[in-house]
Structure 1
Amino acid sequence: MFRFDENLKVYLHRDPVDFRYGMNSLSILVEQAMHLNPMDSSLYIFGNRRRDRVKIIGWDGSGFWLMTKRLETSRFIWPDRKTEVVALTSASLHALLDGDDITAIHRHPREEYLRVS
């Protein structure tokens, strides 16, 4: 089971994806578009074009997990970065999943909530 603790690596795919994609297609996207290893201990987040849904895949050592969340009354706020991949902290992951605007989070001097990889 995944625990979203502070040591978890989280990567956000900036561009929208086709939400018919399942675990296999998303893991290929991690490898080919994000240039990361889908079978490490990280989570990979994908959003649809309307930004009201996210899919998260992760590898737990024996298989892939696929998690989906849909917001009913709002939209996910995606970072407007020039890079293809955005690295998030676990705190910003929790904020994103709560529907908060993670681009408006103010950084504490000792903690970086959003970083570009």
Structure 2
Amino acid sequence: MHPGCTLEQVYLYREAIDFRKAIDGLSVLVEQELGLNPFAIALYVFTNRQHNKIKALYWHRNGFCLWQKRLEADKFAWPRDEQEATRVISLQEFGWLLEGFDLWRNKLHKTLDFASVS
């Protein structure tokens, strides 16, 4: 996230999204489908069907920020078997999720060491 940005909550959207959605589409989803305030001091996190990509949306002072992470191997752990549209986690738990920790099964991603992208 942006240096100096403070976030109070992290919302994981449980359903997979169309990854062609960008800031406008995701902010509308947060506001209209989830009934949440996209301008809140919160991070809204989305995944694709394969769970190998995530997008994170948040408001910082005067505009939206959107970033994406793609795994080259493995998948992000994602909440399942829940009734709510979102799962609220802490910022620390989100960091663990990015590092590969499965918050629901206690399992890490394998560390990969590549020498080249092609």
TM-score greater than 0.5 by the shorter chain = yes
Q: Are the structure 2 counterparts of residues 65 and 27 from structure 1 closer, same or farther at C-alpha, using a change threshold of 3 Å?
A: same
Kindly provide the amino acid, as one letter, of the partner of residue 51 in structure 1.
H
Corresponding residue number in structure 2 for 1:13: 13
Report the equivalent of 2:54.
Answer: 54
Unaligned runs of 5+ in 2: 107-118
- 1:4, CA displacement in angstroms? 7.6
Instruction: Report the Cα distance in structure 1 between the residues aligned to 2:87 and 2:5, rounded to whole angstroms.
Output: 17
- Give the percent of matched residue pairs that are identical in Structure 1 and Structure 2: 36
CA distance in 2, matches of 1:15, 1:44: 13
**Distance apart, 1:38 and its partner CA:** 0.3
Q: Superposition RMSD on alpha carbons, in Å?
A: 1.6
Instruction: Give 3-state SS (helix, strand or coil) of 1:58's partner.
Output: strand
Please give the TM-score of this superposition, normalised by the length of structure 2.
0.81
Is the 8 Å Cα contact of residues 26 and 57 (structure 1) preserved in structure 2?
yes
For 2:61, the aligned partner's letter is G
Question: What residue in structure 1 maps to residue 36 of structure 2?
Answer: 36
Give the ranges of 4+ consecutive aligned residues of structure 1 lying more than 3 Å apart after TM superposition.
Answer: 2-5
Matching residue of 1:103: 104
Whichever of the two has the greater Rg, that structure is 2
Normalised to the residue count of structure 1, the TM-score between the two structures is 0.82
Q: Is the 8 A contact 2:5 2:60 kept in 1?
A: no
| Per-residue Cα deviation, 1:14-67 (whole angstroms, up to 9, x for no partner) | 000000000000000001121100011100000000000000000012000001
Matches within 5 A, 1:65-80: 65-80=65-80
Question: Is the CA contact (8 Å cut-off) linking 1:17 and 1:47 kept in structure 2?
Answer: yes
Residues 1:3 and 1:14: Cα distance change in structure 2 (over 3 Å):
farther
Q: 1:88 to 1:72 in 2, by over 3 A?
A: same
Q: Which residue number corresponds to residue 87 of structure 2?
A: 86
Provide structure 1 residue ranges, at least 5 long, that are not aligned to the other structure.
106-117
Relative to structure 1, is the Cα distance of residues 3 and 69 closer, same or farther in structure 2, using a 3 angstrom cutoff? farther
Q: How many residues align?
A: 104
The alpha carbon displacement at 1:104 in A equals 2.8
